[in-house]
Amino acid sequence: MLILTESDLAQTIESFSLLAQNLLDSDLDRPWAWKGYNEGARFIFFRVYEEIRALQARLAAQRRAAGPALTAAQDLLANHHQAYWALQAVLLPGSPRLLDLQPSAGEWTPRQTLRHLINAEFSFFEAIRANLQIHHHGQDPSLNQVQEILETSRAQVEPQHQQAFALSLDSILALYSDIHYHGIESLAGLSDAQLTLPTFDWEEEAFPLEFRLVRLDAHLRQHTIQLQKTLTAHNARPTEAQRLLAHIFSAVAGLESTLLGAPGLNPIALEEAAGQISFYTEALAQVLAE
């Protein structure tokens, strides 16, 4: 896992999100002031966003100055990670009753769409690792070799995945989190030279590894749009609080992307930011209690 997923900062961001995600627009109009800013409770969201963005900027500058430099592979994985967090934001207006509703005849339900994109992401990562393993042994991969490895990998996780897909949205997203974070961490050390290696997945033609990472990102965005359309068809539109959280999620994605390949970068700064966001979480809770 990336350091942020196991840190105090991750826990404070999650606590804030759980408290804030179902707030009414009227809740955001409740009075709250900060150093001369008297814009109500919605301003607490902006303070959380600002803390994360400022931290990202400081860590990015530190990394540029002292290394390790961000690689091309890490940049591509960061794009995909932004898409991952964008999906989390899209799902905020979702409710349990919507998970199995079809937008129209013949179209996927949100559960089916999530099952497809999560299975696909697992296969993307497993195919890349299979190709790299074959290259590591001095061989050129073939479609049959990669498919055999993929079939074995899928069979090993199939019972666990199917169990999660049959449960709640939280269970599905917990499975996705495990697959996603493990996948990007496992590939964060790819060199620029490795991006040119020929790889197979399901196509008969080999593609460079770089294409796999770009396609991984695009595929997730493709089905995120599909989910947006489905939720809109059922009048599940984001509230103002959920729109604000979407910006916070984007900031989290940027921060975690800055830590790709450098998980130990300035832990003191991460702890300090966790303290600040805990303060704002407590402030929001107090406003709601009044």
pLDDT at 10: 84
pLDDT at 95: 78
DSSP structure string for 139-185: ----HHHHHHHHHHHHHHHHHHHHHHHTS-HHHHHHHHHHHHHHHHH
Rounded-to-integer distance, Cα 190 and Cα 132, Å: 10
Q: At what angle do helices 8-20 and 240-258 cross, to 10 degrees?
A: 170
Tokens at residue 266, please?
């300035």
Print pLDDT tens along the chain (290 aa): 333 455 678 889 999 999 999 999 999 999 999 999 999 999 999 999 999 999 999 999 999 999 999 999 999 999 999 999 999 999 998 777 889 988 888 889 999 999 999 999 999 999 999 999 999 999 999 999 999 999 999 999 999 999 999 999 999 999 999 999 999 999 999 999 999 999 999 999 999 999 999 999 999 999 999 999 999 888 888 999 999 999 999 999 999 999 999 988 888 999 999 999 999 999 999 999 98
Tokens at residue 282, please?
């407590």
pLDDT at 5: 56
Rounded (10°) CA dihedral 135, 136, 139, 145: -70
Domains along the chain with CATH numbers: 3-289 (1.20.120.450)
The helix/strand/coil state of 37 is: strand
pLDDT at 84: 96
Q: What angle do CA 228, 234, 239 make, to 5 degrees?
A: 65
Which of 117, 121, 119, 145 shows the shortest CA–CA distance to 132?
A: 145
pLDDT at 32: 96
Enter the DSSP assignment of 68. Answer: P
User: For residue 56, what are the CA distances in angstroms to 11, 73, 103, 250?
Assistant: 17, 19, 39, 11
pLDDT at 2: 37
What burial class does residue 53 get, using C-beta atoms within 10 Å of its C-beta: 0-12 exposed, 13-18 middle, 19+ buried? middle
pTM of the model: 0.94
- Type of residue at 277: I
pLDDT at 105: 83
